[in-house]
Structure 1
Amino acid sequence: MQKSESPDYKRIYEDILRLQHPTKKEQCESILSKSRFSVKDVITINDIIFPKADKKTQFDNQRHRSYDQSAILEILDYQKNNKLSNSELARYFKLSRNTVAKWKKHFLV
């Protein structure tokens, strides 16, 4: 079975900045200088490039997010390091509290 590779976020966001949002490139330099993007980096750069949308757009975009095991563990580590509750973590990453509880039950048992 072939392991699926994650998208090359660096190239994707560099193209978006070059073609559509060249004025926001300076704000994203610190993230773009990394060789590998974490989940938090992707969310941060996405928020910089595309400002907050209306509720319906946010809801529709949330439906299409997916997280692999390493991303989930990184999010749960973020929770532990910053001493956040499930609700606070869910709000920060725009997740469901039930999703966070399910991940904790599944990955931290």
Structure 2
Amino acid sequence: MRPNYNKIYQDLLKMQYPEKLECPKVREQLTKLDSTEEILKLNEKLFKPTKETAKTNQQLKTYDKKTMLKLLSYQKKHDLSTSFMSRKYKISRTTFSKWKKILEEELSATSKK
């Protein structure tokens, strides 16, 4: 079961930044928290991480299947190397390689569409 990020962020904003909760853009983004990528983007916009917290958070990130497929299809579509992708998204090359092995069939099915 997946946490209700919409509710979590609403509660956080009520306590720390009630003025941000009134902004229509923020409310719209709260309703669109479907993938890990969207959650991370919202978190970055709201809380402006420092270098220390960014490094710690990077080590603790997990990605859902939808986000993994999106990143791998982006890599394939634009013919990018694993090294480039690892630098751009701050994910190890080993992780990208594991994702490719695990999601090989699904990646080829989505690229044919």
Task: State if a TM-score over 0.5 links the two structures.
Answer: yes
Candidates 43, 47, 58, aligned match of 1:50: 47
Gapped regions of structure 1 (runs ≥ 5): none
Identity of paired residues, percent? 35
Post-superposition offset of 1:99:
1.3
Count of aligned pairs between the two proteins:
103
Q: Aligned-pair RMSD on alpha carbons?
A: 2.5
Candidates 95, 101, 104, aligned match of 1:105: 101
Q: Who wins on radius of gyration, i.e. which is larger?
A: 2
TM-score, normalization: structure 2? 0.69
Post-superposition offset of 1:43:
0.9
Contact 2:86 2:93 in 1 (8 A): yes
Rounded to whole Å, the distance in 2 between the matches of 1:65 and 1:108 is 22
Query: Which residue of the partner structure matches residue 111 of structure 2?
Result: none
- The correspondence of residues 14-93 of structure 1 with structure 2, limited to 5 A, is 14-25=10-21, 26=23, 27-34=25-32, 36-54=33-51, 56-80=52-76, 84-93=80-89
Larger relative helix fraction? 2
Contact 1:10 1:37 in 2 (8 A): no
Contact 2:82 2:93 in 1 (8 A): yes
Contact 1:39 1:71 in 2 (8 A): yes
